[in-house]
Amino acid sequence: MSELYFRAGETEGFTSKKLADKKSGYANPIRELLQNSLDASKDAKNEKCEINIYIESIKKSDIPHIESYEDYLNQAVEFQKSVGSFGHNAKQTVAFMKEALKQDELDILMFVDNGIGISPNILNGLIGDRSVKSDESSGGSFGVGHLSSYFLSSLRYVLYASKYKDNGEVKNLFSGAPILAGFEDKQEIPRGSIGRILEKTPEDELKPKFIFPTIYPDFIADKMNDVDTGSMVAILGLNTEWKREANYAIVSNFFYAINKQELEINVDYGIVSNSINSSDIELMLSTSKDGKMATGDSILSGSDIYQLWLTVKDESLKQEISLDNGDKVCVHIRNNIETNSVIALVRNGMLISRHDKMLSNPINNLRKNEDFEPFSIVINVDDSDCSQLFSLVKGAENPYHNKLENGRLSPKDEKKLKDLLKELSEKIQNFLQEKDREGFDLAIPLLEIPNKAEVQGENNSRPKSQTPKAKPNKPTPKQPTGKVNKTGKGKKRPAPVIVNRVLESKNAVRFKDNGDTIDVIMRIKPHKIDLKDDVYFSVSLAMDTDNNSTDSALDLVKLSVNDKDTPIPKFVDIEKDGEIKQEPADQTQIKLGKASEEGVYNVIATVKKPEKVKNIGVALKPFLGLKQSNGGK
């Protein structure tokens, strides 16, 4: 007969530091659980990792040791109150727990894999919050990363089940671990916040030896009977509905393994079930392909993820790069993509890092290199082909599988990792396409500042899609020439009718922060151009505060087209009271002249960095607009 046991020790509060930096949602739990399953399946020598996800409801009375759980919860609350540690956050946490406990049935989320299973040593380290690994080649670690699952549990209660081999014999293992708060038991012995389901209370509590049960609860046995070896993680009191976000988290992080058919996932909702395999990747990732920002715990934006997928799915884009140490690295390279360049690192089939989180300045600088056409690169680190690089990457990886971190390797090994990535970045350049800076005969005049007759007043914002029509005093066939002169009768020249439209073009944009200024680098290939059109360029500041977005045009400091610098006029001639006077020119919207569909325009614009950049989240928005005067040549 098993029991729920809390080890003697420190009395931590409900706002546990173990959970302080963990985030809600499915991204982190899915990354941790699926990566550990992939590693365990690889250790089991399986051709494919098969994961079954079950979402069901169970009776509260079927939860192992639920009565003891409630008793310990009440003891913890009373103790925390007595020592003055039951603050607002603790009250809120307990309120969620007790609300869930009022229900007769609770939702449960179960992950079951076909790996090697969890041994008693690994399970003890997992519950005891020690980082342990099933094998040196495993990229994942069973450690602090697993705590992210607790945020999906209203009860902060997770169960573990395993089938593992011990000297060739398959054995069963079961336990559970609620995270509550420290308390003093009835004998006034201080107890820690983490519980364990054990076969019995250890005889020596100072040096406890934990013995785990071998009998599964019925609702777990039904699932574990279907695997030869493997493990289960069951999250009790599921508080977040399984929606598109969860499926997207799976595909966006594991598209590499799924595409190689090394990972197959089945989601069973009780009534219906669906599989996630290679045929589903395109549909699931395309729904977010226009997303430009990495949201929540995502490593990359939806747009970047989609570009990586397009790179991986085309087998012709795969290259094998040999390093001087004998490692052979599989690198997928796609040139001339329609977005900014992106580089990602994959290990054991999972996306683990992007260009700026790889401990490698050469890799990050390669992504920003302006000498190459925009590209998408996926670096796959596999222990069979590049064992040395794999081992170093694995050692530098953080527990959440989303970046490489300083200090996780010895200084000597960290230098080895950086040297290998530097060598890899240099050899990757041989497969990139350099920009063609020759062969363009472009008829772009010196930049002109439109006068007030052209723009109908000074422009202080991004050009609108439609400008109100000006009412001319008298029709005239002549067009403004950048200067408003007196007519024979001393009257002002009538303002032309101007229509603003967005320039339809294929653009690649990147930014460079210079401190006080920001460079906006664009490569523009126009299409659907009318020969009457003039092209105008501006850069605006998009600010998002509580979902209210405003645009503010920025002054241009410097601008060049195809490596030809053009001075930006500081003044414009304006007629006032019958006289021509100079006034400060609008430097936020610059006329580039005529454009050709056959031309490719390399524009580098330098703008002043606004003070607001330091205080709120902003994004620069380059804008190319067309203006056409009716009847103009």
pLDDT band at 32 (very low <50, low <70, confident <90, very high): confident
Whether residues 353 and 488 share a domain: the answer is: no
Q: In the prediction, which pLDDT does 524 show?
A: 80
pTM for this entry: 0.68
**Whole domain around residue 333: which residue ranges?**
283-431
Instruction: Judge whether 522 and 606 are in contact, CB under 8 Å.
Output: no
Mean pLDDT of 475-485: 48
Q: In the prediction, which pLDDT does 574 show?
A: 77
Distance CA 557, CA 590 (A): 11
Whether residues 163 and 291 share a domain: the answer is: no
Whether residues 193 and 79 share a domain: the answer is: yes
Lowest mean pLDDT among 11-25, 30-44, 541-555, 605-619: 541-555
Query: Of 215, 242, 269, which closes a domain?
Result: 242
Query: Of 431, 461, 495, which closes a domain?
Result: 431
Whether residues 470 and 381 share a domain: the answer is: no
What does the angle CA 201 – CA 203 – CA 208 come to, to the nearest 5 degrees? 80
Residue 459 covered by a domain: yes
Whether residues 470 and 616 share a domain: the answer is: yes
Whether residues 332 and 386 share a domain: the answer is: yes
* Sequential DSSP letters for 246-257: HHHHHHHHHHHH
Lowest mean pLDDT among 236-250, 374-388, 439-453: 439-453
Higher pLDDT, 256 or 531: 256
Residue 265 covered by a domain: no
Residue 192 predicted with pLDDT over 80: yes
Whether residues 466 and 410 share a domain: the answer is: no
The phi, psi pair for 258, rounded to 5°, reads -65, -40
Lowest mean pLDDT among 225-229, 313-317, 628-632: 628-632
Q: In the prediction, which pLDDT does 572 show?
A: 74
Q: Say how many domains are in the chain.
A: 3
Lowest mean pLDDT among 122-136, 507-521, 537-551: 537-551
Residue 145 predicted with pLDDT over 50: no
Strand order in the sheet with 505-513: 505-513, 517-526, 601-608, 556-561, 564-566
Mean pLDDT of 118-132: 78
Q: In the prediction, which pLDDT does 520 show?
A: 83
Q: In the prediction, which pLDDT does 437 show?
A: 56
pLDDT in tens, 281-304: 999 999 999 888 887 678 999 999
Higher pLDDT, 391 or 539: 391
Distance CA 217, CA 222 (A): 9
Residue 272 covered by a domain: no
Query: Of 431, 465, 492, which closes a domain?
Result: 431
Residue 591 covered by a domain: yes
Higher pLDDT, 603 or 387: 387
The phi, psi pair for 488, rounded to 5°, reads -60, -30
Residue 248 covered by a domain: no
CATH at 484: 2.60.40
Lowest mean pLDDT among 173-177, 182-186, 241-245, 345-349: 241-245
Whether residues 418 and 456 share a domain: the answer is: no
Contacts of 164 (CB under 8 A, 6+ apart): 116, 117, 118, 119, 170, 171, 173, 229, 231
Q: Reduced to 3 states, what is the DSSP secondary structure of residue 295?
A: coil
Mean pLDDT of 532-548: 61
Distance CA 158, CA 619 (A): 41
Q: In the prediction, which pLDDT does 516 show?
A: 77
Mean pLDDT of 319-324: 97
Residue 195 predicted with pLDDT over 50: yes
Residue 162 covered by a domain: yes
Mean pLDDT of 587-607: 77
Whether residues 407 and 462 share a domain: the answer is: no
Whether residues 421 and 469 share a domain: the answer is: no
The phi, psi pair for 142, rounded to 5°, reads -85, 105
Residue 247 covered by a domain: no
Whether residues 425 and 481 share a domain: the answer is: no
Residue 221 predicted with pLDDT over 70: yes
Q: In the prediction, which pLDDT does 196 show?
A: 95
Lowest mean pLDDT among 137-146, 517-526, 537-546: 137-146
Instruction: Judge whether 320 and 329 are in contact, CB under 8 Å.
Output: yes
pLDDT band at 131 (very low <50, low <70, confident <90, very high): very low
Whether residues 426 and 457 share a domain: the answer is: no
pLDDT in tens, 392-410: 999 999 887 889 999 999 9
Residue 583 predicted with pLDDT over 90: no
